[in-house]
A = this chain, B = another copy of it.
Amino acid sequence: MLNKVDEALFHPETDAILLTEVLHALSDPVRISIVSQLLAAPEREMPCGTFQYSVAKSTFSHHIRVLREAGVIWVRHEGTRSMSSLRDADLEARFPDLLGAVMKNAPQSEAP
């Protein structure tokens, strides 16, 4: 997990991740799409600029923040890029089978 986290950004410890906050984070089509794209990415990590989305950039940034603060993703800066990665191992440790059950039921649609 070395270098996965930007210390300047809040990320909850695994033990402090709350079920209701994860469910809230996943209760939005854009955020579900972000998780879906990360699941398909190499190492489950992507530069924020490479996501597919059709909302305003500021709205997209808001969604990234909600996912980060809920404990669903890590965000770190690498030079001028912001890299997001899925905390799937942490989520599995904290809430077994939850992310899998949600994502297998997520619509396989275009990016919203």
Q: How many chain A residues touch B (Cβ–Cβ < 8 Å)? A: 22
> Residue A23 contacts which of B23, B95, B96 (CB distance < 8 angstroms)?
B23
Q: Is the interface of A mostly helix, strand, loop or mixed?
A: helix
> Residue A24 contacts which of B24, B102, B107 (CB distance < 8 angstroms)?
B24
Nearest residue, chain B, Cβ from A24 = B27
Task: Give the residues in chain B near A19, CB-CB below 8 Å.
Answer: 32, 102, 105-107
A85-112 vs B: 1/0 string, CB under 8 Å?
0000000001111101110111100000
**Would you mind naming 7 contact pairs between A and B with Cβ atoms under 8 Å apart?**
A19-B32, A20-B26, A21-B27, A95-B105, A97-B97, A98-B101, A100-B101
Q: Which residues of A approach B to under 8 Å, CB–CB? A: 19-21, 23-24, 26-29, 32, 94-98, 100-102, 104-107
Known A19-B107, A98-B105; further 13 A-B contacts with Cβ < 8 A: A19-B32, A19-B102, A19-B105, A20-B28, A21-B27, A23-B24, A23-B26, A95-B105, A97-B104, A98-B102, A100-B101, A101-B101, A101-B102
